[in-house]
Amino acid sequence: MSRKIPLLSPDLRRLYALFLGAVLLLFVIATALTGFTPALFFGQSGEIWKFLSEDFLPPRLPESGRIQVIAEAFLTTLAMAMASTTAAALLAFVMALFGSERISPYPKAARFVRGFATFLRNIPTLVWAFILFSSLGIGTGVGFTALLITSFAFMTRAFIETMEDVSSDCVESLLAAGASFPERVVHAVLPAGLSGFISWYLYCIEVNIRASTIVGMVGGGGIGLVLFSYIKTFHYGIACSIILMVAAMVIIVDQISGRIRKEILK
């Protein structure tokens, strides 16, 4: 084994070296800025272990009076995700019709519709939640609105892409036959893109189940708020059992939506 056959061509090798160098440089800069090194884990391993084994880990049940509150909070979180996703899907469908240049009756305005959706989408959900909380007060209604805005913006973009992918032939042939805008929507866009819309809708449900827990944490109500208050008051055992339940909820919803997707998109 004195000589190896080089498997990579030299210029590819140079590209990889350049890439690796850039990654290393980024790594060094980012470490310097945040001060995070894996050594932290070893330095504080005693404290972390103590926290895990004594406070966090045997998951404890809350006192029996609180169990009903927790169950209601879970239902609120689920209802918030469900209601906001469906409302957002309906609004996004209408919006997407005007955002797609091929379908919209006003193709010139499509650019503005998409710009508006991009603006809404690129502000994270929690920032929306903060903006809304400072104007509308706190409560489930505001959590609902925050989820509505972000999933509306996301689905508008997804629906526009689905429409552009799917229905150009049908729409053009209907247009040539003289069909009006509502007729084109009902007979071409809707049936051709239905499975795509449903698939995006299910994806959004999955995302919003997680997001509604997070929005709850800053004041949207639901299980996020309950979890946050238990962590704030150092009841880590109870927090642990709530985290396990949240994980179970998310996994169950994912399984159900996966099953539905398989059934519908067969």
Partner 1 sequence: MSDLQYPLSSGSFFFSRRKRIRIRCKERRPAVPLFMCAVAVLTLLSFWYLDIDWIRLLSRTPDIGLIFWKLGHLSTNELSIVLASLLQTIAIAVLALLYSMLLGICFGMLAARNVLRLPVLSVLTQAFFSFLRAVPTPVWVLLMLVCFGMGPEAGVAGLCVHTTAFFTKAFAQSFESIPEETLEALEAAGASRVSVFFNAVLPASFSQLVAWCGMRLEVNFSECAILGMVGAGGVGYVIATSMQGYAYGTAGVAILLVFLTAYACERLFVMIKRLFRA
DSSP three-state, residue 74:
helix
**Region 95-114 residues binding partner 1, contact defined as CB under 8 A:** none
Cα dihedral 53, 54, 60, 62 sign = negative
Under the criterion CB under 8 A, does residue 246 sit at the interface with partner 1? yes
d(C-alpha 236, C-alpha 51), whole Å? 9
Q: Which two tokens stand for residue 81?
A: 């995700």
DSSP three-state, residue 35:
coil
CB 6: neighbour CB atoms within 10 A?
8
Residue 111 CB burial class (10 angstroms; 0-12, 13-18, ≥19): exposed
Write down the least CB distance from residue 246 to partner 1, Å: 6
Write down the least CB distance from residue 154 to partner 1, Å: 11
Among the residue ranges 92-100, 102-110, 165-173, 205-213, the one whose residues contact partner 1 (CB under 8 A): 205-213
**Region 29-48 residues binding partner 1, contact defined as CB under 8 A:** 29-31, 33-36, 38, 40-41, 44, 47-48
Q: Spell out, one character per residue from 58 to 97, where the chain touches partner 1: x when CB under 8 A holds, - when not.
A: -----------------xx-xxx-xx--xx----------
Under the criterion CB under 8 A, does residue 115 sit at the interface with partner 1? no
Whichever of 102 and 198 has its CB closer to partner 1, that residue is 198
